[in-house]
Amino acid sequence: MNHLKNLNYIQQECVKNTDGPMIIISGPGSGKTRVITCKIIQILNMGINPYNVLALTFTNKSAKEMVSRVQSMIKEKSLSNLWAGTFHSMFARILRFEAELIGFNTHFTILDNDDSKSMIKRIIQDFKLDKEIYKPNAIFSKISLLKNNLINPKKYENDYELQKTDNTKNQPKFYLIYKNYVERCKKNNNMDFDDLLVNTLNLLKDSPKTLLKYQDIFKYILIDEFQDTNLLQLEIIKILAEKNNNLCVVGDDSQSIYSFRGANINNILNFNNLYPKAKVFKLEENYRSSKNILDAANSLISYNEQKLEKIIWTQKEQGEKIQLTKIESDKSEGLMIAEKIKKNYPEKKYSDHLILYRMNSQSRSIEEGLRRFNINYKVFGLSFYKRKEIKDLLAYLKLIVNKQDEESLIRIINFPARGIGKTSIEKIRDYSFDKSIPIWKVLKKINDIQININGGTKKKIIKFCELIEKYSSNQFKNAFELTNLLIENLNLINLLNKENTIESLSKVENIKELLNAIKLFSDEQEDNTIANFLDQSVLVNENENKNNEDNENYVSLMTIHQSKGLEFSHVHIIGMEENIFPSQQAMFSKKDIEEERRLLYVAITRAQEQVHLSYCKSRFRFNSYIANEPSRFLNEINKKCIHELDLSNNQKINYKKPVFKKKDSLFTFKTPKKKLIKVSNSKYEEKKIIQMNLEIGKNIKHNIFGKGKIVNLTDLNQKMEVEFENNTKKTILVRYAKFDIID
C-alpha cells in the first residue's frame, strides 16, 4: 500500500473506493493527478488487467504523465496495453478495428481542421454560394458545434427553429453544406476530429455486439477534467459504463471555462442525477496557494449560482494580500509590471512570474514594457508581431514604403481574397525570374506583356496596384491615419466580424491593438511616418526573445485559458476592466458572466505566493482613449484580501530612456533632449548608413536598451552587435537604430 502513503484521509478514501459510480470534486492544487494515478494502481493491484482500464484525459501530455507516474510506482507490471489517452485518440483506436461496421474502411484518413475547411470551401464553390455569406471558417465552427451537441444533418433538417435562424442570417443553404460535407467525408473515407466521437457513438448504438465487446473490455473507466466534457462525450461514456457501472469522474465545476469549445458544465453539475447512488468526494485541501489567495478565490466564486458547494482551504500561512493597482493607461500598465519584476530580481527569478490576460491582443503593451526593462520573456502562443493578421498588415505597410519588397508583395497580393490565384502568382514569379524584372514592374505592365493570365485576373491585379500606389503616394503622412484608412479600405474588420468565430474575433482585437500601437507611435514621434514605425517594429522583431534561446529564466505570458493546470510563485492578471474582463461578449448573459468569473478564479488559483491585479484608468481602444470602469469582479473579492494602490495620477516609471511625463492626465512619450544620431532623412528616402563613427570597442547609448559596447560589425556596418550593461547581447540594425556614440 505504498501508493497510499503520502495521501491525506480524503484522498485515500477516493483511491480505496473503486467500485460503482463516483465523482471526485477536486479544487485547484488539491492533488487530483496524484489521486487518479494512485486509483489506477489500486485497481491494478486488485488483479485487474491494464487492458480492462480506460483512463481519459484532454491532452496527450496529461495521459503520458499519468502513465509515467503509474509505471514508476509499479515497475513490475507492463502498462503497454493500458487504455490511457485523449477521447479522440482512444476512440480513433477503436474505430481502426471497427470502422467497417459503420460503412468506413479501417484505413480511413483523419482530417485536420485545415483539411475540413478546404472541403467546405469546395462545397460552397460547387453550390455556387456567396463565400462572403457562407464563410468556410464560420461554417466549419458551426458544424463542429452541431456534432458535439448530437445534432446530425437529419436532425437538423427536421428542426424548424434552426432553419429559421439560418434564414434570419441569410444562410438558407447551410443545411445543404452540412449534409454534403458529411456525405463527402464518408464517400472519401475521411473523418474529422469530431467524427471520431460521432462515429464511435454511432458504432456503439448501431452494433449491440460491438457495444457488449467494449463494455466487457472497459471494466473500469476514469475521466479527468470532467467539467470540460461535452454532450457527445458524455453519451459515449454513459453507454460504455452502463454494464459494469465502475465510472469515476474527476473535475472542478469552478474551473469549467471551455464552453466556447462545446464543454457543458451541466455534465458535472448533474452527475448525481444521472447516477443517484454515486459516491461523492471533495478534495478541498489546497497544497499550492496561501490562505489569502484562497480566501480571495472563494469569496469571488461564491457569487456564482451554478456551482457545487465546496470551500477550498490550506494549512499554509496567511501570506501576502493581493495587490490591486489602478494605473493610467495600458502602456503604463506594461511598464509598471516590468518595473515590479525587475525590482524583485534576482531574489525572484523571471521564471517565477506569470502574466495573464483575457485576450491575446493585450500581450503587446506587456511585451513592450518587458523589452524596455530588458527582461527575458516567452509568449505562449504567438507573440504579437508574429501573428498572421499582424504580419499581413505589416506586409501592406512595407510594400507601400518599398514596392520592391517581393516577399511582402507575394504575401498580400491575394489578401484579403481578391481572386488572384496561386497559379497566376506563380506565372508572374516565373516571368519575373526569366526576364530579370522585379515583380512589381511585371504587375504594372500586366496588360502589355505576354503572360498567360486571363483578363479578369489582370483587372484585379491592376486594381491591387492602384491601391498600393494610392497609399504609397501618401506614405509620409501620419502613420496612424494612413493605416486606419487602409484597414477600412480592405474591409478587414467587417470580413472577420462576419465570420463570428472565436478565432476571427481574436484577429479583430489584434488588428485594433496594432492600430493602438501605431496611434501611440504617431502621437509620440515627430517623424510619425509608416517607414519610421516599421523601422521600430523591425528592431523589436530582430531582438525578440533572442536571449531566451538557451535560457529557461523567462517571464511567461499567456491567456488565462492556456494557464489551466499551471502554477507560479507570482501571478499578474492585467486588464481588470469592464468589457475586457468580463469580456464584452459576455455582458448580456448571466451564464456567460458566471463562466468569466470562473475564468478569474482559475487565474487567481495559479498563484502560490502572490497575486497582482491591475486595471487602467483609460485604455486606448477604437482609436481613442476610453475611460474604463473597474471590473465588477473586483468588488466581489473580499476586501480584507486586497491591498489597493492608485498610480493613476502621480506615477513615475523609473526605466532607462525614454521616460514618461504627465501631460493632460495621460502618460505620454517624451523623446530625450539629447540629440540622437540620425541614420536617414526625415522622409525616409534612400537610407545612407553612417559608417565613419562605427568601430568595434566604441561605447554607445541606445534610447531603449541603454549603454553598451560595440563588439562586432557586419554587412558593411549595417549591423552591429552590442553588449549592454546587463550582459545581454543584441544585434542592432544601424539604419533603424537611434543611439549616441558616447566616447
- Which entry of 18, 33, 215, 731 is annotated as an active-site residue? 33
User: How far, in Å, CA of 709 to CA of 729, rounded?
Assistant: 9
Q: How many CB atoms lie within 10 A of CB 407?
A: 9
Helix, strand or coil, per DSSP, at residue 346: coil
pLDDT of residue 544: 53
Predicted confidence (pLDDT) per residue in 17-38, tens digit: 999 999 999 999 999 999 999 9
pLDDT at position 680: 34
pLDDT given for residue 702 in this prediction: 75
Residue 214: half-sphere exposure toward Cβ, Cα within 13 Å: 26
Which DSSP symbol is given to 187? H
The active-site residue out of 194, 224, 339, 499 is: 224
Q: CA–CA separation, 441 vs 616, rounded Å?
A: 49
Could you tell me the pTM of the whole model? Answer: 0.79
Q: What is the pLDDT of residues 421-446, one digit of tens each?
A: 989 999 999 998 888 889 999 999 99
Q: What pLDDT does 192 receive?
A: 94
Q: Which of 255, 314, 457, 559 is catalytic?
A: 255
The four Cα atoms 206, 209, 210, 211 give a dihedral, to 10 degrees, of 80
Percentage with pLDDT > 70 across the chain: 89
- 32 catalytic, yes or no? yes
111 — phi, psi (to 5°)?
A: -80, 135
Alpha helices in 321-378 (DSSP H): 330-343, 363-372
Q: Which residues of the chain have pLDDT under 50?
A: 545, 547, 549, 653-692
- Options 194, 195, 225, 253, the catalytic residue: 225
| 353-357 sheet: strands from edge to edge | 377-379, 555-559, 353-357, 568-573, 607-616, 322-327, 642-646
Which is catalytic among the residues 12, 32, 192, 457? 32
Active site residue 225: yes
Q: Out of 597, 598, 606, 730, which one is annotated catalytic?
A: 606
First to last CA, the chain: 72
pLDDT tens-digit map of 76-135: 778 889 999 999 999 999 999 999 999 999 899 999 888 999 999 999 999 999 988 899
Beta bridge partners of 59: none
Query: What is the rounded distance in angstroms from the CA atom of residue 693 to the CA atom of residue 48?
Result: 78
**Which pairs count as long-range contacts for 698-702, CB under 8 Å and 24+ apart, including other chains?**
698/741, 698/743, 699/741, 699/742, 699/743, 700/739, 700/740, 700/741, 700/742, 701/739, 701/740, 701/742, 702/732, 702/737, 702/738, 702/739
**604: number of CA atoms within 13 Å, CB side?**
34
Active site residue 606: yes
Q: What is the pLDDT of residue 691?
A: 44
pLDDT digits 0-9 by tens, 38-49: 999 999 999 999
Characterize 314-327 residue by residue with b for buried, 16 or more Cβ atoms within 10 angstroms of its Cβ, and e for exposed. Answer: bebeebebbbbbbb
Write out pLDDT tens, residues 302-339: 999 999 999 999 999 999 999 999 999 888 999 999 99
Say what the alpha-carbon torsion angle 58, 59, 60, 63 is, to the nearest 10 degrees. Answer: -60
Strands 247-251 and 353-357: unpaired
Short-list 472, 503, 512, 490, CA closest to 390: 512
Annotated catalytic residue 651? no
Active site annotation includes 71: no
Question: Are the CB atoms for 489 and 524 separated by under 8 Å?
Answer: no
Q: How many Å apart are CA 168 and CA 600, to the nearest integer?
A: 35
CA geometry: angle at 663 spanning 657 and 666, to 5°?
90
Distances (CA, A) of 529 to 53, 683, 703: 64, 8, 19
Active-site residue 457, yes or no? no
The CA-atom distances, in angstroms, between 481 and each of 221, 477, 495 are: 60, 8, 21
Using DSSP's 3-state secondary structure scheme, residue 501 falls into coil
Q: E-assigned strands of 106-254?
A: 109-110, 190-191, 220-223, 247-251
Question: In the prediction, which pLDDT does 743 show?
Answer: 65
